[in-house]
């Protein structure tokens, strides 16, 4: 029997690669639902090929415009609530959450409450609401399977580990991004085009800039804390420029287990879709003999302070990670519009964090309110 999948954010970078995985394994997976923010042209192409029963279009005007395609037997939903509806459809086995930003929180929570397994590619969900999502998953029996390459690696390295006490620490690897060798002075003049030129990965603009500032890795630290129920002291970040080792787990006996693979997001997507099984990949094998030496470095938080800001946010807890995330999104948007310099990104985030009065154990409504307020203050 085919696994029935809903893909939230099907027209984005992760969504399109996920559909490529489905295409390669059409005998294993069936697409039941797709969603987009406003890219209805690409959505229509996806509907033509995968024949889903439902689509969600967040932008109301684009949803109206989509009606011109006159599909029969296709239910078209609109608005942000459409994501929640698609995530909780009774005929869906697995929900891929690949929407960008805090918009992923509510549909993820709804899917978890119904006991569905989640292939999670949206960082913000766990960054701002990790305590809510993981508590709900424990109650419902839902499994959160990370799609992010680093967390997928940790998830795989922990396979068979039944006692969390034997985990000494985990290492999240980072490529170092396009500015790994830039001086602090040179970073002041880093351009948008330079920041978007990632040396190893093809990603969306937001996550590519986050990779350049190392905030991406900071978010991953917060995610890992919730995904694997670890203390923050057990989570280390290490620069690995080759991006061959995606992350590692060190056990109390001194053994370190690492997951290796090509820099291709279709690999962790396939693993998340096929879990708990493994399906044969159509991608080229990793050639160990031709990849050269593997090197590791300590991250430089003087040049890349966003990593420290993320550690500080999760140590403080409560609504502080929400502030971190919202301020980061605003700052990156300003940088992409060339309104601020690259070096100003962490300054904006730090100022937002300093001015915030933390609320501990926030619910969804509180998180969304804080997120909205921070954005309003910074715009």
- Which residue, 235, 209, 227, is CA-closest to 299? 235
Q: Give whole-number Cα distances, 171 to 38, 146, 157, 298, in Å.
A: 37, 16, 11, 11
Element (H, E) at 97: strand 94-97
**CB-CB neighbours of 97 under 10 Å:** 26
pLDDT, residue 358, reads 97
Mean pLDDT is lowest, of 110-124, 202-216, 308-322, for 202-216
pLDDT, residue 204, reads 78
CATH class of 3-146: alpha beta
Domain boundaries, the chain: 3-146, 158-264+295-316
Instruction: Rounding to the nearest 10 degrees, give the CA dihedral for residues 344, 348, 353, 355.
Output: 130
pLDDT, tens digit (0-9, with 9 covering 90-100), for 21-35: 999 999 999 999 999
pLDDT, residue 172, reads 98
pLDDT, residue 2, reads 95
Cα(9)–Cα(57) distance, integer angstroms: 10
């Amino acid at each position: 029997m085919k696994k029935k999948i809903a893909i939230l954010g099907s027209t984005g970078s992760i969504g399109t690669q996920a559909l490529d995985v489905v295409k390669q394994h059409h005998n294993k997976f069936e697409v039941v639902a797709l969603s987009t923010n406003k890219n209805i042209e690409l959505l229509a192409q996806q509907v033509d090929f995968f024949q889903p029963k439902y689509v969600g279009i967040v932008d109301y005007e684009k949803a109206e415009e989509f009606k011109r395609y006159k599909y029969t037997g296709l239910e078209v939903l609109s608005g942000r609530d459409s994501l929640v509806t698609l995530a909780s459809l009774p005929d869906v086995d697995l929900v891929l959450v690949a929407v960008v930003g805090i918009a992923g929180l509510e549909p993820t929570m709804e899917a978890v409450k119904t006991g569905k397994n989640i292939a999670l590619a949206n960082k913000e969900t766990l960054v701002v609401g990790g305590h809510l999502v993981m508590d709900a998953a424990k109650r419902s029996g839902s499994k959160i399977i990370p799609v992010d390459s680093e967390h997928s690696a940790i998830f795989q390295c922990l396979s068979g580990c039944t006692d969390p006490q034997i985990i000494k620490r985990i290492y999240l690897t980072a490529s170092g991004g396009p500015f790994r060798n830039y001086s602090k002075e040179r970073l002041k003049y880093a351009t948008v085009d330079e920041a978007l030129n990632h040396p190893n990965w093809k990603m969306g603009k937001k996550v590519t800039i986050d990779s350049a500032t190392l905030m991406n890795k900071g978010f991953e630290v917060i995610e890992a804390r919730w995904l694997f129920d670890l203390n923050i002291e057990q989570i280390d970040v290490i620069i690995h420029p080759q991006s061959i080792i995606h992350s590692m787990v060190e056990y109390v006996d001194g053994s370190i287990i690492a997951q290796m693979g090509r820099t291709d997001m279709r690999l962790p997507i396939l693993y998340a879709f096929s879990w708990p099984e493994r399906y044969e990949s159509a991608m080229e094998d990793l050639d160990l003999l031709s990849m050269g030496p593997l090197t590791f470095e300590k991250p430089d938080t003087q040049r890349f302070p966003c990593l420290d800001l993320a550690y500080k946010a999760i140590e403080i807890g409560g609504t502080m990670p929400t502030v971190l995330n919202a301020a980061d999104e605003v700052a990156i948007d300003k940088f992409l519009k060339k309104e601020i310099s690259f070096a100003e990104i962490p300054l904006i985030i730090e100022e937002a964090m300093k001015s915030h009065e933390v609320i501990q154990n926030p619910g969804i409504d509180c998180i969304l309110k804080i997120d909205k307020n921070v954005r309003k203050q910074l715009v």
